[in-house]
Amino acid sequence: MEGQQQRAERDAFETDPIAPLGIIAMPGCEELGRRANGYLMRWRTEKEESFEDTRELYTSPGYKRDDFLLEVDCPRFSTGEGKGLLKQSVRGHDLYIISDVTARQMTYQMYGQTVPMSPDDHYADLKRVIAAIGGKAKRINLIMPFLYESRQHRRTSRESMDCAIMLQELSRMNVSNIITFDAHDPRVQNAIPLTGFESVHPTYQMLKALCKNIRDLNINRDHMMVVSPDEGAIGRSIYYSTVLGLNMGVFIKRRDYTRVVEGRNPILSHDYIGDSVEGKDIIVADDIIATGESILDLARELKARRAGRIFCAGTFAFFTKGLDAFHKAYEEGTISRVLSTNLNYLPAETRAAPWFIEVDMSKYISFIIATLNHDHSLHSLLNPLDRIKRLLTCYREQQAEAGFRLI
């Protein structure tokens, strides 16, 4: 039976786009933009070759392009002030802006000093580019993998509501759709009820990368579990445990709410609730790995309970305090692998780490762009259940052919 993604792939470019496609990869997103553009160009070429007369298939003006990528520049004056520049016309285009506000490798010169770009700088440049578009585009869609200020998503005292303000600003600037990945709390979209908002979960891509790199998993309740790192990740962990048919446990973080250290309340202890993890491989899924201290503490707690291999999956891995602690944990056998996407900047050192598995999301982003550009529903892309079932079936068949002992 044809799966949902197979139908989405078949339907890609079957119809005329609602407007000529344009992709703007903001500074720091060039590699992701090039990869996505490569898939889109290849699909268009394959579709053209399958029709003798493509004039009947593609009638939109501006469709015949050598490249969907559009050039932009965000230069800075010596005082640090900036502006956004478009190198080509975007009049009438269906634009997709890809912006990584965590691209810390980008710098600029201010008063003769090299300054690394903060999320605030990236967001300011994004607004400058939208302002440079000047309302001439047919539609503006924003793909912001890590939602700017998403960890400041609710007010608990006299504090700012940065994420909600950002969303409202973009809505007022006529951004039609905002696509993000694994938003810290997707309920923040309530700030913009009349603007399209999707929080996409890379569950299928994570599991695909895990199965590709680890060939001896016994994916059953006797040999594997899903453990939620905290109460905020319970929904994500329930999904993993349900689609994999595994039991689930939960760690409850007890924090010291009288102090704030590096922007957060320090963790006092982890209390575990759930079945025994003894001898079982563990999947721990979270949205963000920042310093990594919390996930490593969790891994040590699991190892103290005699857990087997521990696979940590984080949509965004920043490693803000470096990799030394993870290198040590890997050498000691505390963790087996860490999986994370290429939706944010990954230094070469991170990609080369023996315990790190990179999850490529560029093809998935290409499908999202193609689907929206042809005005199709995203439902088949946002619901990966059929793809996960096929993945597990294929994985078990390959294990059987390779002679792995399955129980």
Residue 228 CA to its chain's centroid (Å):
19
- pLDDT, mean of each 10-residue run, the chain (407 residues): 51 72 94 93 73 45 73 94 93 95 94 94 97 95 96 83 95 96 91 94 95 93 92 89 94 73 68 90 93 90 94 95 95 96 95 96 94 88 90 90 59
Predicted pLDDT of residue 2? 46
> Using CA atoms, how far apart are residues 334 and 307, in angstroms rounded to an integer?
10
Which residue, chain included where needed, has tokens 């600037």?
A: 173
Q: List, for residues 81-105, the tens digit of each pLDDT value.
A: 999 999 999 999 999 999 999 999 9
Integer-rounded Cα Rg, in Å, for the chain is: 22
Task: Answer yes or no: are the C-beta atoms of 206 and 214 closer than 8 Å.
Answer: no
Predicted pLDDT of residue 156? 79
Predicted pLDDT of residue 262? 66
Predicted pLDDT of residue 60? 46
Nearest to 2 by CA among 380, 394, 392, 393: 380
Predicted pLDDT of residue 173? 96
Judged on CB neighbours under 10 Å (0-12, 13-18, 19+), 230 is middle
> Using CA atoms, how far apart are residues 198 and 210, in angstroms rounded to an integer?
25
Return the number of other C-beta atoms located less than 10 Å from residue 216's C-beta. Answer: 11
